[in-house]
Amino acid sequence: MVYMMRTASLPFKQAFSLVELSIVLVILGLLVGGVLSGQSLIRAAELRSISSDYSRYIAASQSFRDKYFALPGDMTNATAFWQEAHATPATCRTTVGTGTATCNGNGNGTIASFSLGVDEHFRAWQHLANAGLIEGTYTGVTGAAHASEDANPAVNVPRGRISNSGFGFNPVGSVTNAADTNYFVGNYGNAMHFGGNGAANMYYPLIKPEEQWNLDTKMDDGLPHQGFVRSFKTASTLTPGCAAASNIAYDLVATGNLCSIVFTTGF
């Protein structure tokens, strides 16, 4: 008798070859590289927009002054052009008007803050928008988050391209005390801030020291304490802030978002 041995058939297993795995890894590398490159390009565009927006707002303010013989926000006869939000000045400063209704400034040449008894630094953006010199609509009054002033991008100040960022006027004037915790010594006049709204009027740091140095170098002198592009000294609650310990150079070793910008306006 002949016995025949039967063998069980084994399933055929498929697997990637080394060539196929190499191709997959190359594709993944290209995708990751493309994402990182795309993020870098987006960030570069956001940073470039800071200088272009600053230039646009300065040009708009100068055009406003040429047309109305006053600075936006400080204009004493704004209600003659755009109606009044409230007839009583003390009440007007906290009243959001209907349409273009606004309030007059005091005409002293300073775009004054809420703490000085007026809200000119918020009304300024409303005046510029009412005049058709910038896009958007603005309330002209402070927000509710802070007792003295609260800037909210796209509500009472213009929004920047970087998330949560915006621009705000601030009547810094002349700083003579080197121990000032917010500003370097120098004449700022009606300064313009770029930053976040985490600390009242767009002071909060949103960009890295290297990023501000790059922007400052392209626009001005590359130094945080002088020129028309300067660093907010304390970077809100963070230390050492945007500038190095010497305060005469950017802290390029630091990698956090430690910087907000102070622009001098020339008016």
Residue 96, number of CB atoms within 10 A of its CB: 15
pLDDT given for residue 132 in this prediction: 97
Looking at residue 239, what is its pLDDT? 45
Q: Where are the alpha helices (DSSP H) in 137-248?
A: 209-219
Q: Percentage of residues in the chain with pLDDT exceeding 70?
A: 81
- Report d(CA 140, CA 123) in Å as an integer: 4
| CB < 8 Å & 24+ apart, contacts of 217-220 | 218/51, 219/51
Task: Kindly report, residue by residue over 130-177, the tens digit of the pLDDT.
Answer: 999 999 999 999 888 766 678 999 999 999 999 989 999 988 999 998
DSSP secondary structure letter of residue 107? -
What pLDDT shows up at residue 52? 96
**How far apart are the C-alpha atoms of 160 and 152, rounded to whole Å?**
11
Average pLDDT for the chain: 85
Q: How far apart are CA 230 and CA 170, in angstroms?
A: 14
Render pLDDT for 42-71 as a digit per residue (tens, 0 to 9): 888 999 999 999 999 999 999 999 999 999
- CA-CA distances (angstroms) from residue 93 to 42, 117, 259? 38, 8, 31
- 31 vs 84, higher pLDDT: 84
C-alpha to C-alpha distance for 60 and 102, rounded to whole angstroms: 18
What's the pLDDT tens digit per position in 75-134?
999 999 999 999 998 899 889 999 999 999 999 999 988 766 678 999 999 999 999 999
Closest CA to 129 of 156, 109, 92, 167: 156
Residue 74 has pLDDT above 80, yes or no: yes
How do beta strands 186-196 and 229-231 pair?
A: unpaired
CA 114 to chain centre: 20
259 forms beta bridges with: 207
d(CA 199, CA 80): 34
Sign of CA dihedral 194, 111, 181, 220: positive
Does this model's pTM top 0.85? My answer is: no
Q: Which pLDDT score, from 0 to 100, does residue 87 have?
A: 92
**Which pLDDT score is estimated for 236?**
47
Exposure b/e, 58-79, CB count within 10 A at least 16 = b: bebbeebeeebebbbbbbeebb
At 212-245, the pLDDT tens digits run 999 999 999 999 999 999 998 864 444 457 887 6
Instruction: Quote the Cα angle for 205-211-212, to 5°.
Output: 65
